[in-house]
Structure 1
Amino acid sequence: MQLSVALAQKSDIELVTETVQNYLDGGTYGDTAKMAKVFHPSATMKFVDVKTGEFRDVPIAKYLEGGKANAGKKSDRNTRILTIDITGTAAQAKIELDYPTTKLTDYFNLLKINGEWKVVSKIFAREDKK
């Protein structure tokens, strides 16, 4: 008797969730290689500096380079994926990173490129806790 096993393809929601979770896990556990795989090489990070009010536009490579200082160190934070919205080959994810003194809300824009979901831009808001 022969058995045949069909491998089910993961749904886009599962794949986007996996991509975002890799970012969260990479950041929490200081795994910059895992974080780098999430982003398209041309991705950018944009934000308003809460101290100066200035708009910042940072290439993702520079952001990832800065993260290497925490390589291998576990961050004291809780994370969660708040929403994921997908239309065709475009998606958006909203995540929360809760630290003891700060809360960050990240918004990711993702595109399905050659069958893989990649973050092409990240924006975030920072709230300092009192």
Structure 2
Amino acid sequence: MKTAASKSSLEEEKHLILLTLNDYLQGRPVKDIDRLRRAFYADAYIRTVIDGKLVQWTLPQYLELVAQATLQECQPELLSYTWDGDTGSAQVQLTFATFRFIDRFNLVKLDGKWLIVDKISYREDL
């Protein structure tokens, strides 16, 4: 049986994880680079498969790509998240008019803050 303290800790952890995920989900559609940067660990990598080849970017390279992207209406959605101790994972979806990205994140908790350390992404045409 969970005590009040452990339930409180659980809710606090959920809140902290959701702060990070919401920085991504709310920042990416509007190209808010500062908010996106807050969600990621400074040395994070972003990976995807393009034409059958693995492509990866450092966080600064990824943020530059986002900054240059055409601003489009987007529906962000948190699909799932989980954690154990100071590591976790999440799956989100960004749906645009003609395609969507399905992103999977690896998360770590450092200095009391959850950060995305690794993102893999799949683009699906609609």
TM-score, structure 1 length as denominator? 0.84
**Pairwise CA RMSD of aligned residues?**
1.7
8 Å CA contact 1:94–1:108 kept in 2: the answer is yes
Aligned to 2:30: 29
Residue identity opposite 1:46 in structure 2: R
Q: CA deviation at 1:17?
A: 1.0
Residue identity opposite 2:60 in structure 1: A
Aligned equivalents of 1:45 and 1:29: distance in 2? 19
Structure with greater helix percent: 2
Structural mapping, 1:76-95, within 5 Å = 76-95=73-92
Q: How many residues align?
A: 118
Q: CA deviation at 1:69?
A: 2.4
Q: CA deviation at 1:68?
A: 1.9
SS of the aligned residue for 1:28 comes to coil
Largest Rg, 1 or 2: 1
Give structure 2 stretches of 5+ with no counterpart.
1-7
Give me the identity figure in percent.
26
Aligned to 1:101: 98
Aligned equivalents of 2:46 and 2:116: distance in 1? 10
Aligned to 1:118: 115
Listed one character per residue, the Cα deviations across residues 64-109 of structure 1 (whole Å, up to 9, x for unaligned) are: 1222225xx8531101101010100001010011111101110011
SS of the aligned residue for 1:35 comes to helix
Aligned equivalents of 1:74 and 1:48: distance in 2? 22
Aligned to 1:48: 49
